[in-house]
Amino acid sequence: MDYLILRINEQRFEIDGTEFRLSVTAGVAQGPYKIIEHADLALKEAKRVLKPFKFYLPRLHTAQNSHANLLWTYKLKDAIEG
């Protein structure tokens, strides 16, 4: 996986004199159930920690829920105070 992402990230191409570079971040999941949801959680985690990829782990559900709860806490606090 590292090699594949590294090769993609090294690619450069030119269109009408403007150089472009590709960048890839991936969430990886396996199994027969909720594979898209799990891959999406892994992708969000990879982006959050600035890594090229992350594998799905069940703890990502807890981390995502904690983050969402914290955001709602801030929103409610702002609404009450503001």
CA–CA dist 5, 15 (Å, integer): 22
Q: Do 48 and 74 meet the contact criterion of CB atoms below 8 Å apart?
A: no
Report the candidate in 22, 47, 26, 27 with the shortest Cα–Cα distance to residue 38. 27
**Model pLDDT, residue 63:** 66
CA–CA dist 55, 45 (Å, integer): 9
56-77: pLDDT as tens digits? 998 887 767 667 767 788 888 8
**Model pLDDT, residue 28:** 94
pTM: 0.65
2-58: pLDDT as tens digits? 788 778 878 888 999 999 988 889 999 998 889 999 999 999 999 989 999 999 998
